[in-house]
Amino acid sequence: MTIENNSVRHVLGISGGKDSAALAIYMKELYPQMDIEFYTCDTGKELDETYQLIRNLESKLGVSINKLYAKEGDKGNPFDFYHNLYGGYLPSSNARWCTQKLKIEPFENYIGTTPVISYVGIRGDEDREGYISTKSHVQSIFPFRENIWSEEVIGKVLKNENQQKLLALYKEFLSQNLYQRAVDILKTPLSFSYNQNQKLKALMDLGIKEFNHVAFQSLKDSNLPIALVNDFPLLNNESVLIRDDIFRILRESGVGVPAYYEEIPYEVNGQIGKYNRSRSGCFFCFFQRKIEWVWLYEQNPVKFFLAVEYEKDGYTWMQDERLEELINPERINQIKLEFLTKQQNAAQNYRSNKLIDILDAEEEGCLACFI
């Protein structure tokens, strides 16, 4: 029995950040024939610029973005509902109840048990995959990358026992010369000396589109959502988008870049540095670096002191420092100077000394919130 494309839901989450917003525009413009559902998980504690970005996107896309809330009946403050439920205990890197309750559970309730393909805005210049649902009926696709498939899916495609199937499929998509090279690659089994990434790169070097079509056909007998799709236009996508492309899409579309990404100069000890917020998400996100807390204090003091109020119960956003201690003038200067030094050192090693790039190159924090 043939199963039609409409048995699979295509969804794209808008975090309020640059990458997911650009992906929504990209998918709508390149694949208008696809019926994609756009959604956002609203914690009730986003920056004003995040909500403005959502409104701008709705205007640009001509669709309503589904707003998902963790607690029905308390849509204004789902964070506060769970904060009170947990006795004032604040989330931390070791106890990310905010991610589980405010992001993951609303998403999984939204999709239910229907097969879902989720489009994720991980860029081509990033080495990560973000949040991957553990649900077997949910599959992630990465349109900005050369390899649109998740690592798990690549593992299914390239497993050694698939060799004969892949050889037969490649014969349909490659010229004779390239096919002989594919034979050599495919007949070399995966091992400690020849891993999955090496094999993937060798095959993609023969042709990205060709690999995508072979992967798509080889997954037809799997239990993945992609197996239920008869036609998938992203198979012919060979684009690789990096950070500069994301900002270009946002600006050229008229949606605009959220103001918190724009660098603002500051002076410390006679030197000029620059700071900005590097991520979307709650204004009090505990993954923020201290320079970002300083940015919040100086650029949005109302939000900063709302974050201070949450520390009244004895819990703190940072393990080693309370927000009221952080805003001591001497401490602010110390943080600014340390960050300026870090920028100067990073400029020697990275292509950019912007905060957003330095953070991209370091710990990403909770990726379920920032894609």
pLDDT category of residue 366 using cuts at 50, 70 and 90: low
Q: What is the pLDDT of residues 287-332, one digit of tens each?
A: 999 999 999 999 999 999 999 999 998 999 999 999 999 999 999 9
pLDDT computed for residue 93 by the predictor? 87
Percent of the chain predicted with pLDDT > 70: 89
Would you say residue 135 lies in a domain? yes
Pair 147, 172 in one domain? no
User: Which carries the bigger pLDDT value, residue 131 or residue 69?
Assistant: 69
What is the mean pLDDT of the segment spanning 360-369? 49
Same domain, residue pair 107 and 122: yes
226 and 232 in contact (C-beta within 8 Å)? yes
46 and 283 Cβ atoms separated by less than 8 Å: yes
Whether 315 maps to a domain, the answer reads yes
Question: Which is more confidently placed, 268 or 3?
Answer: 268
d(CA 361, CA 309): 32
Q: What is the sign of the dihedral through the CA atoms of 83, 85, 89 and 93? A: negative
Least confident of 123-127, 259-263, 333-337: 123-127
101 and 249 together in one domain: yes
Q: Are residues 352 and 265 in the same domain?
A: yes
**Residue 231: inside a domain:** no
Q: How far apart are CA 355 and CA 339, in angstroms?
A: 9
At a CB cut-off of 8 Å and minimum separation 6, what does 258 contact? 16, 17, 18, 47, 49, 50, 52, 53, 280
Q: Which residues pair with 282 in a beta bridge?
A: 46
Mean pLDDT of 272-285: 91
Angle between helices 196-206 and 208-218 (to 10 degrees): 120
Instruction: Give yes or no: residues 45 and 67 share one domain.
Output: yes
Name the range with the highest mean pLDDT among 94-98, 108-112, 212-216, 276-280: 212-216
106: closest CA among 81, 131, 72, 135?
Answer: 72
Residue 118: CATH number of its domain = 3.40.50.620
Determine the structural domain holding residue 335 and report its residue range: 259-370
Residue 206 domain flag: yes
Tokens of 159: 């497993």
- What element of type H or E holds 20? helix 18-30
Torsion angle in degrees (nearest 10) through CA of 23, 28, 31, 32: 170
Residue 232, in any domain of the structure = no
Residue 357 binned pLDDT confidence (cut-offs 50, 70, 90): very low
141 and 112 within one domain: yes
Q: How many domains does the chain have?
A: 3
Same domain, 33 and 177: no
pTM score: 0.88
Find the DSSP H helices in 128-175: 151-158, 163-173
Please say whether the beta carbons of 64 and 58 come within 8 A. yes
Residue 147 within any structural domain of the chain? yes
Confidence tier at 76 by pLDDT (50, 70, 90): low
The predicted model gives 75-82 an average pLDDT of 84
Residue 1: which pLDDT band, with cuts at 50, 70 and 90? very low
Residues 216 and 243 in one domain: no
Three-state SS for 95-139 is ECHHHHHHHHHHHHHHHCCCCEEEECCCCCCCCCCCCCCCCCCEE
| 147 and 38 in a common domain | yes
Whether residues 362 and 248 fall in one domain: no
Q: Are residues 101 and 242 in the same domain?
A: yes
Lowest mean pLDDT among 113-127, 284-298, 324-338, 355-369: 355-369
pLDDT at 3 over 70: no
Is the backbone of residue 347 left (phi > 0), alpha (psi -120 to 50) or beta?
alpha
Q: Is residue 230 part of a domain?
A: no
Q: What is residue 305's predicted lDDT score, i.e. its pLDDT? A: 98
The model's pLDDT over 199-212, given as tens digits with 9 standing for 90+, comes to: 999 999 999 999 99
55 close to 92: Cβ distance less than 8 angstroms: no
The pLDDT tens digits for 23-40 are 999 999 999 999 999 999
Q: Are 323 and 293 in contact (CB under 8 A)?
A: yes
What confidence score (pLDDT) does residue 46 get? 92
- The answer to whether residue 306 sits within a structural domain is yes
- Residues 45 and 142 reside in one and the same domain: yes
In this prediction, residues 150-166 reach a mean pLDDT of 96
User: What was the pLDDT predicted at 281?
Assistant: 86
